[in-house]
Structure 1
């Protein structure tokens, strides 16, 4: 059953004057919600109100401070959407019991929450299926040169159709054909990476997963082979499903990837994109990607229009279902905490994912709209 909805205007009237009056949940967004998560607001609001919670939704400017909101100290649950609080903001929330959002938080905030025993709920599980299915779509499109054939049909019409004598139409210079029988290495053992691994296995591929932050027991429980990040070079297909400062295919590993192999990228933090781009431009690797070094990609960028590259513009997690599912993950976990329980363990964020001090290498995902938030 769909969760009930409450429109913005009526909810604003309920909390006229911008004082909190002790609502259960404060939801804060950065003003870009309708562009980035257009179906999330009503679903999240309806899910929380449907469970009997009171809430206030605020938009905070880039230079705004959560701690300046009157009455914030009484709020037990905080939801952050595109907003990064300061430690002083968290300190001002004296009754805080749970923080939720989409993606991780700054290491200082993660530490402040951990020191107080406050769980952080990550709604990213909600769009993991959407992102994983995009990875499969990119793999198949890269293996069969589907965008090139589509473009040829649009531009050439009947001339694009293979002649009766054609028995082979895939690109011979790169890994091609069926996913079955291919060797696939997935970077990341999180929700997206595991779903990609499951789907590739169902297609008949031989799959291994690399994630230095995951415990050995996680690989055993999920029945997947573990491989070191430095040893991804022997795969037919490398899928960068997730990334962090430690979970990153370095330039040295990119340079050793087998000529002709296919790299699929959903998270720009998970691989040295500059090194990958250089090999793609030299025609050594095929690339199917939803993320880039700069967003948007300039029309004159030489990476565009190549027959060894498949592009999508950062849309891996941008489905209506993904919006709904993210909202449901947030609402369900907040309800669990406010009712005296704990969030689901798989919706927590491992500290290693947020500890930027482990590797000084910068993440190219700082721009809004990159794969980090999709």
Structure 2
């Protein structure tokens, strides 16, 4: 027995981050040790429901390595007296950068143009990319990540609008707040920054997609559940949408041969928006710090 707090990791802790735990806690998991743990470091893929939580009778805190916590049953945690934390600052920079990268890839038609180059062909005589200066960027949600994306949009000469029912105009950093319908019906690029969960499941459905400007681009680095992928495919096949760029899908990963994969008007990355070297380290650092803070009675980023 080490005498250190026993902390269960539901995904293996990378060796590169072992220095974050040395002398601070005893690592167990992901295949065993939950029954001994007093804290959990939770990724995004394991569902922490009542049954899972029951496997750790001494667990006092579940700390997410990220912002979203829709894989944690908050009611079940509350019933067991388990505190739930997230790490809202940790992935903000890397995820915002990835969002902009996907926006660029989709609007500049990089899949199409790199395929042309790979075939040794000449560039098309008619321009196919979208010039962003003067375009409208619509954000669904205006949290930390979206605000960074908005700043880049402004720097590119884009008009930026957003819908966020929890933000008022005085706290919008100069972004004009509008209703959700206006975001979808008037933006050239719509970027999703809303949380997951039943309330937002398939927020972007066939009806919503039908209201978007012809040729508009949809970007999603938030949660795969926000988008009805069958409806998205239909909007792309009909030409209603000009493109889509997705870092999150449903399921993850998409199976080989999925109709969204391989399309030149779709860019898909495998949920790597936060996976810069610095960003990934911050995710673990903040999650571990939060868990230990709760155990020691210090302030932490608590969601429930």
Return 5+ residue gaps in structure 1 as ranges. 1-14, 16-20, 34-39, 352-374
Q: TM-score, normalised by structure 2?
A: 0.80
1:288 to 244, 247, 250: 244
Does 2:8 align with 1:23? no
Q: 171, 188, 195: which is aligned to 2:148? A: 195
Match of 1:139 among 103, 109, 127: 103
Cα drift, residue 235 of structure 1: 0.8
Q: Deviations over 1:231-278 (max 9, x none)?
A: 322111111234423332333221111111111222322222222210
Change (3 A) 1:301 1:125: same
Equivalent residue for 1:370? none
Structure 1: how far apart are the matches of 2:155 and 2:6?
A: 41
C-alpha displacement of 1:44 = 4.5
Which has the higher Rg, Structure 1 or Structure 2? Answer: 1
Does residue 111 of the first structure (1) align with residue 78 of the second (2)? no
- C-alpha separation in 1, matches of 2:49 and 2:226: 26
Name the Cα RMSD after superposition: 3.2
Q: TM-score, normalised by structure 1?
A: 0.67
For 1:60, the equivalent position in structure 2 comes to 31
Asked if 1:328 corresponds to 2:300, the answer is no
Q: 1:117 to 1:276 in 2, by over 3 A?
A: same
Matches within 5 A, 1:355-366: none
What CA distance in whole angstroms lies between the structure 1 residues aligned with 2:178 and 2:227?
A: 16
Q: C-alpha deviations, 1:7-40, integer Å up to 9, x for none?
A: xxxxxxxx5xxxxx6531412325xx4xxxxxx5
Tell me, which stretches of 5 or more residues in structure 2 are unaligned? Answer: none
**Correspondent of 1:240 among 189, 192, 196:** 192
Q: Distance in 2 between matches of 1:114 and 1:334?
A: 16
Q: Residue 304 and residue 283 in structure 1: after superposition, are their counterparts in 2 closer, same or farther (change >3 A)?
A: farther
Q: Write the deviation string for residues 87-127 of structure 1: whole angstroms up to 9, x where unpaired.
A: 365467666443212341556x3124345664322246423
Higher helix share: 1
CA distance in 2: counterparts of 1:83 and 1:113, whole angstroms:
15
Contact in 2 for aligned 1:286/1:309 (Cα 8 Å): no
| Aligned-pair CA distance for 1:222 | 3.8
Distance in 1 (CA, whole Å) between partners of 2:226 and 2:260 is 22
